Amino acid sequence: MGNETKARTQNTEHRLRKLFLIVFLSVFCLLFSVLCLFAQEKKPSKEPTIITSQTLTADNKAKTALFEGAVVAKKGDMTLFADKMMVYYSEEKGSSNIKKIDAEGNVKLLKGERVVTSKFATYFAEPDEKIIFTGEPRALEGDNVITGTKMTYLMKEERSVVENSKVILTERKSGSTEVRK
């Protein structure tokens, strides 16, 4: 019976070592994956911002650029339209970085299937990339509509905050109601 007990003990120890190794490798892989995702999120976007308009008035001292008449600002899959945009920028290492954009008049944001309209919008590049819509903001995605007095779209998080909201949801053909961001 002594050899049988010794064999069971060795077998149990072997299983525990194997289990410990599996758990350790699983935790290591999980942590490594999270760190990789975190590193990807912190990389700055290399996509250029392209702005077109009928007229441009630049003030290099104030580091502003006023775009007027059929203004279109495009970056990646996002396009912002307005009658007028004031762009605030900084110059670092020979290149310009947009800090803020004030858009006014017939403001419209297109991103994927999402459309947001308002009278005014302010885009902030830092610290958290976001756009604040005021002046009867209205968001459409498919047949769903959201209105409010102020909409804040947190771009990196793909999340919106709407003050004094009213939501109109359409039903899918299957009869279930769909809520979208």
Ranges of each domain in the chain:
1-43, 50-168
Measured between alpha carbons, how far is 6 from 173 in angstroms, rounded to an integer?
66
In the predicted structure, residue 105 carries a pLDDT above the cut 70:
yes
Burial of 133 (0-12, 13-18, 19+ CB in 10 A): buried
Calpha distance 39→128 (Å, rounded): 16
Predicted structure pTM score: 0.68
- Assess whether pLDDT exceeds 80 at residue 142: yes
Per-chain mean pLDDT for the chain: 79
- 28: CB partners within 8 A, 6+ apart: none
Give the length of the chain.
Answer: 181
Residues contacting residue 27 through CB under 8 Å, at least 6 positions apart: none
Sign of dihedral through CA atoms 41, 153, 115, 180?
A: positive
- Specify the pLDDT at position 41: 39
Task: Note the pLDDT of residue 53.
Answer: 96
User: Which residues face 145 on adjacent strands?
Assistant: 140, 168
Q: Is domain 50-168 given the CATH code 2.60.450.10 in the classification? A: yes
Residues 123 and 145 sit within 8 Å (Cβ to Cβ): no
Round to whole Å and give the CA distance between 59 and 33: 46
Rounded to 5°, angle at Cα 17 from 13 and 18: 115
23-27, 77-81, 121-125: which has the minimum mean pLDDT?
23-27
Task: Tell me the pLDDT tens digit for each residue of 31-46.
Answer: 343 333 333 334 455 6
How many angstroms separate the Cα of 181 from the Cα of each of 58, 120, 139?
37, 21, 9
Q: What is the mean pLDDT of residues 138-143?
A: 89
The predicted pLDDT at position 155 comes to 85
Least confident of 43-52, 60-69, 86-95, 161-170: 43-52
Whole-angstrom distance between the N-terminal and C-terminal Cα of the chain? 67
For the ranges 29-33, 132-136, 143-147, the lowest mean pLDDT is seen at: 29-33
Per-residue pLDDT, averaged over 84-96, amounts to: 83
pLDDT of residue 72 exceeding 70, the answer is yes
Determine which of 12-16, 30-34, 49-53, 160-164 has the lowest per-residue pLDDT on average: 30-34
Task: For residue 39, give the H/E element and its range.
Answer: helix 2-42
